[in-house]
């Protein structure tokens, strides 16, 4: 199973294409969303694309097929890719915080974990964010580096999500 984690970035609409492409390529895909991600995009789209329940709440009654979703799903995952990854989720993972479904999944996973950051240049270049990205690299998580491109502010800069093709290729390397 490929797990796609989605966080609260404006770039999360691009996850639809990535998830759809993986499903077309016959991969079994499960999506995990943070609360912020669900303010940007509805889980219904991912449930429909994947045919699998979307996991988004560690305590949610009857929300999925799983008794303990973060453990059950992390045990089945051959790769977890967080696309897009906010500054917030990067910081939480770097610190070992486990206060939502995605951070619990990551900390219990034994499979490769890919992180595709997407944020405004000012956030991306902040020393705290750069330090947290380095911590993830030191723990052998794979960072799919963002590129220079159009940012939500209307300016061009570094922090634009890597291309869908790059991300798909990186995910497929682990399947
Ligand atoms: C319109 C809008 C766009 C945002 N885009 C980003 C983004 O691209 N990257 C980012 O790191 N945070 C972005 N944020 C801030 C995050 O949504 C916020 O830090 C949130 O707490 C992230 O939660 P999560 O990491 O649990 O998904 C954005 C917020 C808003 C209102």
Condensed to tens digits (0 to 9), the pLDDT of residues 82-123 reads 999 999 999 999 999 999 999 999 999 999 999 999 999 999
- The confidence score (pLDDT) of residue 60 equals 74
Judge if the beta carbon of residue 168 lies within 6 A of ligand 1: no
pLDDT at 63: 61
| Residues in the chain, pLDDT under 50 | none
C-alpha distances (whole Å) from 85 to each of 75, 91, 138, 170 are 21, 10, 18, 15
Confirm or reject: Cβ of 8 under 6 Å from ligand 1: yes
**CA of 11, closest atom in ligand 1:** 8
Which domains occur in the chain, in start order?
Answer: 2-172 (3.40.50.1950)
Judge if the beta carbon of residue 90 lies within 6 A of ligand 1: no
What was the pLDDT predicted at 66? 79
pTM of full prediction above 0.85: yes
Please give the pLDDT value at position 115.
Answer: 98
Q: Evaluate: CB of 15 within 6 angstroms of ligand 1.
A: no
Is the C-beta atom of 88 inside 6 A of ligand 1? yes
User: Which pLDDT does position 58 carry in this prediction?
Assistant: 84
């Amino acid at each position: 199973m490929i797990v796609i984690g989605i966080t609260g970035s404006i770039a999360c609409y691009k996850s639809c294409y990535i998830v759809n492409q993986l499903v077309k390529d016959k991969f079994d895909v499960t999506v995990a969303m943070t609360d912020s991600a669900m303010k940007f995009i509805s889980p219904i789209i991912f449930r429909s694309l994947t045919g699998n329940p979307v996991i988004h709440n560690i305590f949610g009654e009857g929300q999925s097929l799983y008794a303990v979703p973060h453990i059950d799903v992390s045990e089945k995952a051959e790769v977890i890719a967080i696309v897009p990854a906010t500054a917030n989720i990067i910081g939480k993972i770097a610190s070992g915080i486990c206060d939502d479904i995605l951070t619990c999944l990551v900390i219990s996973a034994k499979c490769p974990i890919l992180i595709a950051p997407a944020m405004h240049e000012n956030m991306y270049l902040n020393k705290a964010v750069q330090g947290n990205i380095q911590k993830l690299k030191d723990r052998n998580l794979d960072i799919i580096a963002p590129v220079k491109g159009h940012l939500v502010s209307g300016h061009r800069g570094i922090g634009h999500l890597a291309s869908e093709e790059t991300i798909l290729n990186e995910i497929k390397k682990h399947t």
